[in-house]
Amino acid sequence: MADEIKRREFVAIVSLLGATLATGCSSTAPSSSTGASAAPSNSAQPNKALTEPEAYTFLTPPEQAFIEAACDRIIPADPPGPAASAAGVPYYIDGQLAGAWGNGARMYRQGPWQAGTPQQGYQLALTPAQLYRTAMRAVDAHCTKKYNGNFSGLTSAQQDEVLHGLEQGTIDLDTVPSATFFALLLENTIEGYFADPLYGGNRDKAGWKMIGFPGVAAVYTNLIDQNYGQPYIVPPVSISDVQQGLAQDDMDPKHVALVRPLHRRAVGTKGR
């Protein structure tokens, strides 16, 4: 039991000094846990600008234009935060559609298929990726017919009109109920704006900064019942920050804080 308790103390410490987690410390726990600095020994170069060009993998060029335009009407550039596209949301959606979720992982896909009641929920045979593709083509066809151009080329007012029509289910997309597509697009846009940056959106933690969300790891034991009504504002920390050794415990208050602000996302953080 003593070993177990020691192990628990160690875990408590690394949850503050989260950076040590990424450095293969599990076999050498004592030396890692005694270090006051969270600077990693080998895996990260905090001050090096790490770059990897963003790239689309699922969305075709017309679909890229569609998603960028649609996301920026849902979360436009108005203050107090960047537009969805500036926060990387279209890349987030691309990654989700290309990955397990987009391909219907964890979705029950056995027939027979039939339309259900609203209370029974989604009953289309389409995966999320198929749903997007089918719907985007149909929306562009609708726009071409009505406005003589693809969705991405319309004015903001026209785009809003189309999105409202989708949301209210008044635009006929044939296979896909338009409200079903819009609800998913809205949900995914919000996800991309607020999910950990490792998934490609929330670039520079813009979504978190906009609302004051501190990110992944913190110990609030000595804060939660103190200074009622005072906002607790700190630079937010991502999963990558901790793994790459860019965050350390500032001890008081015990928030896992950045060593220095990040301006670029780190290598390997564009997830699927």
Partner 1 sequence: MATKLKSVDALTIGVGWTGGIIAAELTKAGLHVVGLERGDYRNTSPDFEVPQIHDELSYAVRLKLMQDAAVETVTFRNDSSQTALPLRYFVGFLPGNGLGGAGVHWNGTTWRFLPWDFETRSKTIARYGASMLLPDCTSQDWGITYAELEPFFDRFEYQAGISGKAGNIKGTLQHGGNPFEGPRSRDYPNPPMKVTYQGSLFRDAAAKLGYHPFNMPSANVTRPYTNPDGATFGACVYCGYCERFACEMFAKSSPQLAVIPVAQKTGRYDLRTGVNVVRINLDSARRRAVSVTYVDGAGREFEQPADMIFLTSFVFNNVRLMLVSGIGTPYDPKTRAGNVGRNYAYQANTGGTYFFENKTFNPFMGSGANGFVFDDFNGDNFDHHGLGFIGGADINVNPTGGRPIQNHPTPPGTPTWGAGWKEAVAKWYSRAFSVNAQGGVQSYRGNYLDLDPTYRDAFGLPLIRMTFDWGPYELKQSAYMADVLQKLGKAIGADHVATHPLKGKYTTQVYQSTHTTGGAIMGADPKSSVVNKYLQSWDVPNLFVVGASAFPQNAGYNPTGTVGALAYHTSDAVIKRYVKKPGPLVG
Residues 180-199 that bind partner 1 (CB under 8 A): 186, 189-191, 194-196, 198-199
The reply to whether 261 sits near partner 1 by the rule CB under 8 A is: no
Of the candidate residues 157, 229, 261, 263, the single one contacting partner 1 (CB under 8 A): 229
To the nearest whole angstrom, how small is the minimum distance from the Cβ of residue 198 to partner 1?
A: 8
The helix (H) or strand (E) run that includes residue 19 is: none
By CB under 8 A, what part of segment 138-167 binds partner 1? 160, 163, 167
The set of residues, in sequence order, having a beta carbon less than 8 Å from that of 162 and lying 6+ positions away, is: 139, 142, 143, 151, 154, 171
The reply to whether 36 sits near partner 1 by the rule CB under 8 A is: no
Please tell me the count of residues contacting partner 1 according to CB under 8 A. Answer: 76
Nearer to partner 1, 53 or 111 (CB): 111
Of the candidate residues 13, 98, 184, 219, the single one contacting partner 1 (CB under 8 A): 219
Count CB atoms within 10 A of the CB of residue 161: 15
By CB under 8 A, what part of segment 38-97 binds partner 1? 73-76, 78-81
Angle between helix 156-168 and helix 178-194 axes, rounded to 10 deg: 120
Catalogue the E-assigned strands of the chain.
247-249, 256-258
Angle among Cα 141, 142, 146 to the nearest 5 degrees reads 120
To the nearest whole angstrom, how small is the minimum distance from the Cβ of residue 258 to partner 1?
A: 13
To the nearest whole angstrom, how small is the minimum distance from the Cβ of residue 268 to partner 1?
A: 14
The reply to whether 211 sits near partner 1 by the rule CB under 8 A is: yes
Structure tokens at 272: 């699927």
Whats the size of the chain, residue-wise?
272
Q: Dihedral sign for Cα 125, 130, 132, 136, please.
A: negative
To the nearest whole angstrom, how small is the minimum distance from the Cβ of residue 144 to partner 1?
A: 24
* Segment interacting with partner 1 (CB under 8 A) among 5-13, 36-44, 55-63, 136-144: 5-13
The reply to whether 28 sits near partner 1 by the rule CB under 8 A is: no
Task: Report the C-alpha dihedral over residues 69, 70, 72, 73, rounded to 10 degrees.
Answer: 120
